Amino acid sequence: MSTEGYDSSKSSFDDAAENAKENFKDAANSTQNSANEFKQNFNQTINQDNKKVLAGILGIFFGGIGVHKFILGYNTEGFILLGITLISIPLMCLIIGVFTIYIPVFIGLIEGIIYLTKSDEEFYHTYQLNKKA
């Protein structure tokens, strides 16, 4: 009877050891996957932050010609701001351009401030992922 108890406890110990090995392998794989996901998300966050700051600063200083829109990939809106500025220059002879030339400058200033005050995640989801105009 003693050998049966020994064999039974040895087999249950072997089963428990095998289960522990499998659980350890699963945990190691899960940890490796989590580390890889974190690394990818971290690299994306760094790129998002740089684009946010760049677009914000360019919006404040060069918003009148729409450079901040081109940086974010909004080419149509960038050409509209650039077009308003270029049309306003010759219209300055007729006094109308004196008023219209400031419109894209104010738009760029306001958008630049908005870009810089948003959080990184909010900026990414709003302007880069969802492409809000």
How many angstroms separate the Cα of 47 from the Cα of each of 4, 36, 77, 107, 124? Answer: 65, 17, 23, 25, 10
What's the confidence (pLDDT) of residue 132? Answer: 74
Mean pLDDT, rounded, of the chain? 83
φ, ψ (nearest 5 deg) of residue 118: -80, 150
What's the confidence (pLDDT) of residue 46? Answer: 54
**Per-residue confidence band for 30, with pLDDT thresholds at 50, 70 and 90:** confident
Name the more confident of 130 and 116: 116
Q: Is the pLDDT score of 57 beyond 90?
A: yes
How many angstroms separate the Cα of 126 from the Cα of each of 30, 98, 106? Answer: 31, 33, 21
Q: What angle do CA 111, 113, 115 make, to 5 degrees?
A: 70
Q: Is the pLDDT score of 114 beyond 90?
A: yes
Name the more confident of 39 and 45: 39
Cβ density class 71-103: b for 16+ within 10 Å, e for less: bbebeebbeebbebbeebeeeeeeeebeeebee
**Per-residue confidence band for 129, with pLDDT thresholds at 50, 70 and 90:** confident
Question: Is the distance from CB of 60 to CB of 105 less than 8 angstroms?
Answer: no
Q: Is the pLDDT score of 54 beyond 80?
A: yes
Q: Is the pLDDT score of 5 beyond 60?
A: yes
Residue 33: left (phi > 0), alpha (psi -120 to 50), or beta? Answer: alpha
CA distance 66 to 89: 15
